[in-house]
Structures are given as structure tokens and as C-alpha cells.
């Protein structure tokens, strides 16, 4: 059986006659040519991983070549057949893969230490994710990184999530080769292929459950059963980063290069994924990219990052700074509220950040509060000014910066994952054991509405309560959030996506 020995200068000591021919007898050793000069061992190993276990590698960087040994000849045949139909690319450069004349690689490990170390690391991770023979391992205890492809579902998707957003986030963990986005069961989903299953596992561990934007767009990540994605078009729905030559297809425009460049610059400000929660991509870049892709679907989203909202058409006889603080506090931490002195049907509300102001605007614009349909837009003001010291403004301006009732002060709070549009069904929590269903029904009926349905959760600490209209639910939330139920329990009220 023919073998190969590496010399100290990194070159093979034999002339590989026949290796430059495209045909040849099948072998589990593959010859890879025309590699980019800066390519890494990990990228070369990743070429073979979707087809089976990689057992050896030899890098000939001086010749821009490599040899890759797979565990079986069948795996090598599958790999060659696939790449004969789809030209492989590394770092946007086409490469060439063929059978080697050699049936196995015998490398001098002392002279090939880097490549062997990378291979051993990959093998160790693969082995650590395989159940030990003779033991029983629950599915929840072990998550096998069998595939370099991740299936991603976006929950609480209040801003558009573009393909470029996903690429920016996930490429922090390794080379992202392909992405396909689609909508299934009214949920935005994506399939994303790494060059290496190890990178896929690292990304899943760090990002699963994280928010892309503050308080919304939560990532739910699992491994896909697919090991390779077939991307036909490069556009705003799918992209093969190894094949820049693909058509856009179906007349779908790709992202404008100028917008894409600006977006890449903005999102480079991302912190290391997993270190912070939420990830907080700059909202201006997201909105610009979304607008370029024609996918801005919710009212009021703009490229601005202003934290101050102008709320108009208020019921001036009923509205107070406290009522606005409570309602808008469902969507962010309200810092200040100012009802305008000369126009008391309007108010300025300053949120903690631009993402929160966008959330509040998109969910509350057009809702009915105290019998009037309110209008919510971004204000031209950057901050809400407090009245000068000693000036009585009749209580129209309030500073809530130090309020203990902020819902989103704690980073990574579960409240970020439970933000929903106003609905007739309310979620109640922090209910003491002594409070019965009838007590809560009476309490909410006293806000002036009709309680249509009620359901305790199993532990009786939480419940769902349905009013007859969304307006009644808004009124009840304003009146009863933080209501003292006794026993040091203050009721927590939020909107629910469920129905009873």
C-alpha cells in the first residue's frame, strides 16, 4: 500500500504522478489543489466533515495543496461526487478536489504538528458528543454536534431580521458558508451552515436564548438533520458565501452594496456573542438594511435611534404621567414623562434606549386609551427636560429614572422574552396563596370592564385573565399593575399572546 512521508521542509519527497489528473481510482485520500495562501487547516478539514470522519490531513502550504484522508472510501467517493457537481470555494476562490494515488496518509507528526493538533481537537469534540457505549444518556444531557447546519427560529420578532444580521452574529464563531431564510408556521426561520460542526456547536451554546435586539428577536437554535445546504440564489432570502457567482433568481434584488457596507460597519460594534445579553445590534443599521430589503412591515419603524416619543390625542381629563409610565413601561424602562402644559392632550415620553422607544411606538400607536385612539411617533426632542427648580408645573413632568417598577433593568431578564402587543388577555403573576379566582375577577371588574375568562396556572402564582376588549385590558393593566394584594405581594400585569 502506497504511503506518504513528509520531509522537514514541508514538501513531499515523492513526485505524485497521476495526482494532477482529474480521474483515477477511488481512494479515501483526496488531493486538494489551488488553495488560497492564507487558508487554515480547519477550513480544509471542514470540507470533508459533512461526508464523514476525517482521519488525517497533510498541508502543503508552499504548493497551495493539501491531502485529506477520510475514514472510509465510500465517504471519499460521496465527497468527490458532490464537489464534481458543485465547485467548492474557500475564501471566495475555487479549489479542486480529486482522488489521490495513495490509499492512506502516513505523516510525520513531529513535522505536521499544527495540522494534527487541529484534527485532534475536532475529533475530541466529536467524540465527546457521542454517547459512551453501554451507558444510557438522555437527549437533554447530550446535544450531538452531528451537523454543521443550525436551524434557527426567531421568537418575538418585532424588527426584521435580515440575512446579513444573521451572518454578522454567527460569523463570530467561524466561517459561515451558507444561509437560507424562510417563513414556516408564521415564524421566521433560517438554516445556517458553518464550515465546521465545532463552530456550529459553539454558536448554539453561546447564542441559544439570546436576543438580537434589546427586548425582542429571541434566537431559538437546534442542530439540523441536514449536513449540507443547496443554495440556488444569492439574494435577500438565501446566500452561498462560497459561490459569489450565483444568480439572484426570480428577480429578487440583493442588498444594495452601499447599504450592506454601512451595515457591516455598524454591526462590527457587536460585543463578543455570549458575553452580553441582549446583543443590541445598532437599530439604525438594522432598519437601514431592512428598508433596503423591502421588509419593514411594522408601523413606525425608522432608522432613528431617538429615545423620546411624542404621544398625541390623549384624553386630557384622564391621563397622568403615572398612567403613561405604567402603559409604556410594558415595552421598556420609562425615564421621564412630560404632559405638555399648553397642549395637555399630548405628552413626551423618554425611554431608556432607542430600541425600547421603537417597540413602544410599534405596539401602542393606534391603540385606544381612556376612550381615545392615541398616536405615537418619534419626537424631535432628544431628552425630556425637567422643570427648573422652584417652578411648579402642576405635576405634569415626572422623573421615573429611579423607579423600582422598571421591568427591564436586569440584563437578560425573562421579561425581554415576554413582550407582546396589547391584547384582551392579561398575564398575572406574583399572586399570593390566599387570593382566590373570585377575588381577582372582582378586582379586575372594578376597573370598569368585563372579565370574560380566567385560568390559574398549576402553581396558582400566575394566571391568565381575559377582558372583553383590548381597551379594557389596557385600562386594567394601568390600574392594577403593582397593586398590593397583601402578604408583601404586588401584582404584576402584562399582555399575553395566549387566549383562554
Q: Over the stretch 89-106, which tens digit does the pLDDT of each residue have?
A: 887 788 999 999 988 887
- Rounded Cα distance between 30 and 98, Å, is 6
Query: What pLDDT score was predicted for residue 275?
Result: 26
Superfamily of domain 418-495: RRM (RNA recognition motif) domain (3.30.70.330)
- Rounded Cα distance between 260 and 218, Å, is 23
Cell representation of residue 430: 406574583
Q: Classify residue 433 by burial, with Cβ atoms within 10 Å: 0-12, 13-18, 19+.
A: exposed
Q: What is the pLDDT of residues 377-424, one digit of tens each?
A: 989 899 999 988 877 778 899 999 999 999 988 765 667 777 888 999
Cell representation of residue 140: 437533554
- Rounded Cα distance between 97 and 74, Å, is 15
Are 103 and 40 within 8 A, CB to CB? no
- Rounded Cα distance between 253 and 231, Å, is 16
**Strand ranges across the sheet with 216-223:** 211-213, 216-223, 149-155, 187-194, 176-184, 238-240
Angle formed by the axes of helices 437-445 and 470-480, nearest 10°: 100
Which distant-in-sequence residues (6+ apart) come within 8 Å of 234 by Cβ? 240, 243, 244, 246, 247, 248, 254
Mean pLDDT on 271-288: 35
Q: Classify residue 175 by burial, with Cβ atoms within 10 Å: 0-12, 13-18, 19+.
A: buried
- Domain spans of the chain, in order of start: 29-106, 149-240, 308-403, 418-495
Q: What is the pLDDT of residues 351-377, one digit of tens each?
A: 998 888 888 988 899 999 999 999 999
Mean pLDDT check: name the lowest of 18-32, 186-200, 249-263, 335-349: 249-263
Are 332 and 351 within 8 A, CB to CB? yes
Which distant-in-sequence residues (6+ apart) come within 8 Å of 78 by Cβ? 51, 52
pTM of the predicted structure, to 2 decimals:
0.46
**3-class DSSP assignment, residue 487:** coil
Query: What pLDDT score was predicted for residue 41?
Result: 85
Highest-confidence segment of 152-161, 277-286, 335-344, 386-395: 335-344
Cell representation of residue 61: 502550504
Provide the mean pLDDT of the chain. Answer: 78
Are 424 and 472 within 8 A, CB to CB? yes
Nearest to 421 by CA among 353, 357, 348, 494: 494
**CATH no., domain 29-106:** 3.30.70.330
Establish whether domains 29-106 and 308-403 are of one fold.
yes
Q: Which residue's entry shows cell 397593586?
A: 483
- Rounded Cα distance between 461 and 407, Å, is 18
Q: Which residue's entry shows cell 405635576?
A: 395
Nearest to 218 by CA among 226, 227, 210, 206: 210
**3-class DSSP assignment, residue 199:** helix
Mean pLDDT check: name the lowest of 171-185, 213-227, 272-286: 272-286
CATH fold of 149-240 reads: Alpha-Beta Plaits (3.30.70)
Superfamily of domain 308-403: RRM (RNA recognition motif) domain (3.30.70.330)
Q: What is the pLDDT of residues 144-179, one digit of tens each?
A: 346 899 999 998 876 778 888 899 899 888 889 999
Q: 9 — alpha (psi -120 to 50), left (phi > 0) or beta?
A: alpha
Amino acid at each position: 500500500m502506497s504511503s506518504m512521508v513528509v520531509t522537514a521542509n514541508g514538501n513531499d519527497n515523492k513526485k505524485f504522478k497521476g495526482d494532477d489528473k482529474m480521474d483515477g481510482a477511488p481512494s479515501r485520500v483526496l488531493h486538494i489543489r489551488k488553495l488560497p495562501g492564507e487558508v487554515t487547516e480547519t477550513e480544509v478539514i471542514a470540507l470533508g466533515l459533512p461526508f464523514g470522519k476525517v482521519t488525517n490531513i497533510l498541508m502543503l502550504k508552499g504548493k497551495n495543496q493539501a491531502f485529506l484522508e477520510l475514514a472510509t472510501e465510500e465517504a471519499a467517493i460521496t465527497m468527490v461526487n458532490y464537489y464534481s457537481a458543485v465547485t467548492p470555494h474557500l475564501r471566495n476562490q475555487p479549489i479542486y478536489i480529486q482522488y489521490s494515488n495513495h490509499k492512506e496518509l502516513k505523516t510525520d507528526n513531529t513535522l505536521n504538528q499544527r495540522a494534527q493538533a487541529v484534527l485532534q481537537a475536532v475529533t475530541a469534540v466529536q467524540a465527546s458528543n457521542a454517547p459512551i457505549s453501554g451507558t444510557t444518556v438522555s437527549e437533554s444531557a447530550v446535544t450531538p454536534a452531528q451537523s454543521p447546519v443550525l436551524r434557527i427560529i426567531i421568537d418575538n420578532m418585532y424588527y426584521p431580521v435580515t440575512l446579513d444580521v444573521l451572518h454578522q452574529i454567527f460569523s463570530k464563531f467561524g466561517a459561515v458558508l451558507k444561509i437560507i431564510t424562510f417563513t414556516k408556521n408564521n415564524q421566521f426561520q433560517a438554516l445556517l451552515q458553518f464550515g465546521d460542526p465545532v463552530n456550529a456547536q459553539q454558536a448554539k451554546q453561546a447564542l441559544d436564548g439570546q436576543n438580537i435586539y434589546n427586548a425582542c428577536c429571541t434566537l431559538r437554535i437546534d442542530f439540523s438533520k441536514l449536513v449540507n445546504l443547496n443554495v440556488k440564489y444569492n439574494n435577500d432570502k438565501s446566500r452561498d458565501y462560497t459561490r459569489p457567482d450565483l444568480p439572484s433568481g426570480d428577480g429578487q434584488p440583493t442588498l444594495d452594496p452601499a447599504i450592506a457596507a454601512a451595515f457591516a460597519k455598524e454591526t462590527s460594534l457587536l460585543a463578543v456573542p455570549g458575553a452580553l445579553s441582549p446583543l443590541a445590534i445598532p437599530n439604525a443599521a438594522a432598519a437601514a438594511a431592512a428598508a433596503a430589503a423591502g421588509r419593514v412591515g411594522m408601523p413606525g419603524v425608522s432608522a432613528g435611534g431617538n429615545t423620546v416619543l411624542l404621544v398625541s390625542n390623549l384624553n386630557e381629563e384622564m391621563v397622568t404621567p403615572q398612567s403613561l409610565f405604567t402603559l409604556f413601561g410594558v415595552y421598556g424602562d420609562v425615564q421621564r414623562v412630560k404632559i405638555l402644559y399648553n397642549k395637555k392632550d399630548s405628552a413626551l415620553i423618554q425611554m431608556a434606549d432607542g430600541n425600547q422607544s421603537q417597540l413602544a411606538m410599534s405596539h401602542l400607536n393606534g391603540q385606544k386609551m381612556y376612550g381615545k385612539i392615541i398616536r405615537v411617533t418619534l419626537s424631535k426632542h432628544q431628552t425630556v427636560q425637567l422643570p427648573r427648580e422652584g417652578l411648579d408645573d402642576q405635576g405634569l413632568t415626572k422623573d421615573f429614572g429611579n423607579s423600582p417598577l422598571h421591568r427591564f433593568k436586569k440584563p437578560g431578564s425573562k421579561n425581554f422574552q415576554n413582550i407582546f402587543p396589547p391584547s384582551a388577555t392579561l398575564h398575572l403573576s406574583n399572586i399570593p396563596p390566599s387570593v382566590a379566582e373570585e377575588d381577582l375577577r372582582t378586582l379586575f371588574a372594578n376597573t370598569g370592564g368585563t372579565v370574560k375568562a380566567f385560568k390559574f396556572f398549576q402553581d396558582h402564582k400566575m394566571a391568565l385573565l381575559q377582558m372583553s376588549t383590548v381597551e379594557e385590558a389596557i385600562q386594567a393593566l394601568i390600574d392594577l399593575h403593582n397593586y398590593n394584594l397583601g402578604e408583601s405581594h404586588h401584582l404584576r400585569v402584562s399582555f399575553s399572546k395566549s387566549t383562554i
